[in-house]
Amino acid sequence: MKVLGIETSCDECSIAVVENGRHILSSIVATQIDIHRPFMGVVPEIASRTHTEWIRDTFTETLHRGELALEDLDGIAVTSRPGLVGSLLVGLSFAKGLALALGIPYTTVNHVKAHLYAPQLEREISYPFLGLLVSGGHTMICRVDGVDDIRVMGTTIDDACGEAFDKVAKYYDMGYPGGVAIDRLAQTGNPQAFAFPGPNLHKGDHRYDVSYSGLKNAVINQIDQFWDGVSEKSLENIAASFQKRAIDILVKRLLRAVEDTALDRVVVGGGVAANSYLRSSLADVRGLEVLFPPLELCTDNGAMIAGLGYHYLKEGRISPLSEAASARVEGFRKTYP
């Protein structure tokens, strides 16, 4: 079954065709990064307008590169939540129109679940496993027992991990997008130059939760308080010290979940899955099988939408044309243990 995947939840206008949930036949990620760079962040109105301008050509070019015809498509999967509503609506409306015109089924996909599916575009992964979803808007540790059987163990109680990278980078004018800039600067920085604090989550039911607002505040507003007094206060040193703390916070909670559940397989997804320090930290954990998406499938892409959507369509989960877009990530409250 050849499924067309459409992703327009934020600033990537991406369309792909994936066969049987696994083989990418064609994929285009048209990113708006350069358009939003002057603002050092995604401007929602510009994002949705750009999607309307780009989506048709992205679609025809995706078919062209894959040497595919309209008749080759068996179904359509599209992101309907969470994201910027104006941007989501462009992809969702395009998907509905196409499904109606071609007389093929379409299904809506939760973007966050699709991020966790991305590593499965490369290889078959057996269930159960622990999912670590770290993106620009979400951070969660979950237990995954099936393609759509996801129980959340912990989340961030404030900022998302990627959001913290983006805000620190924006404050220090390190580059855009922030996560990529910090990762690059950190390569030549000293991670011990600043001893930034971790979160204080000892009270209440926060066994697998993380928090980033305290760390962000320390890096932006209290830098001198955490300085070792010797190292240079360079961007490289700030980036390396921040990155180390931000990722260590995550890894600590994840390893606690590994220990508690006795699951020794971890699947990582979302933009921060591209982070080199996260990758090397988890590679060093003995006895743990860690599966990352390839770099180009960490951030937003239509292939992960098509991949997950294939499973829905196979089960006959066809969405009605009345389906709405939503900014919120429904159904991701803590449900495990």
SS3 240: helix
Give every CB contact of residue 316 below 8 A, 6+ residues apart in sequence.
none
131 annotated ligand-binding residue: no
> Is 300 a residue that touches Fe ion (CB under 5 A)?
yes
Site string for Mg ion, 298-337 (x = CB under 5 A): --x-------------------------------------
Taking the C-alpha atoms of residue 268 and residue 271, their distance in angstroms, rounded to an integer, is 10
Least Cβ distance, residue 160 to Mg ion (angstroms)? 13
183 annotated ligand-binding residue: yes
Taking the C-alpha atoms of residue 266 and residue 234, their distance in angstroms, rounded to an integer, is 34
> Is 183 a residue that touches ligand ATP (CB under 6 A)?
yes
Which residue in 151, 161, 116 sits closest to 266, CA to CA? 116
Taking the C-alpha atoms of residue 302 and residue 13, their distance in angstroms, rounded to an integer, is 8
> Is 166 a residue that touches ligand ATP (CB under 6 A)?
yes
Nearer to ligand ATP, 63 or 329 (CB): 329
Chain mean position to CA 9: 11
Nearer to Mg ion, 266 or 325 (CB): 325
Strands (E), 135-255: 139-146, 149-155
> Is 115 a residue that touches ligand ATP (CB under 6 A)?
yes
Nearer to Mg ion, 11 or 163 (CB): 11
79-102: b (≥16 Cβ within 10 Å) or e = bbbbbbbbbbbbbbebbbebbeeb
> Is 179 a residue that touches ligand ATP (CB under 6 A)?
yes
The only residue of 11, 166, 209, 236 in contact with Mg ion, by rule CB under 5 A? 11
- Contact partner at residue 199 from Mg ion, Fe ion, ligand ATP, none, CB < 5 to 8 Å by partner kind: none
Chain mean position to CA 45: 21
206 annotated ligand-binding residue: no
Nearer to ligand ATP, 9 or 62 (CB): 9
The contact set with Mg ion (CB under 5 A) reads 10-12, 300
The contact set with Fe ion (CB under 5 A) reads 135, 300
List binding-site positions: 111, 115, 133-137, 166, 179, 183, 275, 300
